[in-house]
């Protein structure tokens, strides 16, 4: 990031200060294909994500949902959780989904959740951080804001982990540029669509 660029700040999401609709849209845009399977069409999805953002204790709410801001404007988001608490967050998010979708909606999506769970399977150490969502406004990409967010997380956590779609070449290049390496890939069919994801790791820089 050059000196002429605006310095980004990472702030826990606060609905009284941050544009919740923009944040929800950024969450969806982090992976439109998978989020489309989970939440449905974009407009419907944003409404469901807004409901999830009101559920404390998940990666859809502060302090795990963080806004990347510049000059007071939300230009991106990053969300995740410490790997040692994976099972805790998965249970909490499962309950939040049940409330947001309702019982009938949740049961209709359950086969999709199970397939995605196999595609996004992961084995991680307990000393790291798993990034669920990292998303930058399309008009602000390529300016170093995403890399700044990765460096901020890397300064606090031993190792970073994430999944990225196997057909998202731009995102793969971004993560490789930021020292992530692919540990493996899984794929599966959801409906008529083949969905695949690389599981990536950013090794520790600590001596």
Write down the CATH number for the domain with range 9-202. Answer: 3.40.630.30
Per residue in 104-156, pLDDT (tens digit) is: 999 999 999 999 999 998 777 788 999 999 999 999 999 999 999 999 999 99
pTM of structure: 0.92
- Report the sign of the C-alpha dihedral through residues 168, 190, 120, 23, in that order: positive
Domain ranges of the chain: 9-202
pLDDT at 204: 77
Under 8 Å between Cβ of 160 and 205: no
Query: In angstroms, what is the C-alpha Rg of the chain?
Result: 16
Q: Which of 15, 2, 90, 5 is nearest to 50 (CA)?
A: 15
Percent of the chain with pLDDT over 90: 88
């Amino acid at each position: 990031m050059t000196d002429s660029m605006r310095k980004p700040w990472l702030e826990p999401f606060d609905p009284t200060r941050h544009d919740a609709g923009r944040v929800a849209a950024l969450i969806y845009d982090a992976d439109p294909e998978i989020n489309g399977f989970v939440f449905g069409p974009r407009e419907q999805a944003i409404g469901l994500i807004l409901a999830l953002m009101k559920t404390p204790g998940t990666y859809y709410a502060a302090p795990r949902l963080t806004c990347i801001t510049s000059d007071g404007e939300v230009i991106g988001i990053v969300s995740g959780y410490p790997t040692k608490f994976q099972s805790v967050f998965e249970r909490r998010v499962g309950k939040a989904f049940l409330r947001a979708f309702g019982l009938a909606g949740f049961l209709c999506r359950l086969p999709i959740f199970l397939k995605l769970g196999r595609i996004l399977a992961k084995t991680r150490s307990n000393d790291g951080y798993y990034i669920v969502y990292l998303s930058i406004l399309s008009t602000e990409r390529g300016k170093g804001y995403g890399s700044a967010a990765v460096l901020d997380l890397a300064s606090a956590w031993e190792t970073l982990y994430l999944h990225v779609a196997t057909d998202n070449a731009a995102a793969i290049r971004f993560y490789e540029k930021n020292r992530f390496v692919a540990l493996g890939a899984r794929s599966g069919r959801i409906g008529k669509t083949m969905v695949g994801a690389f599981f990536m790791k950013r090794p520790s820089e600590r001596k």
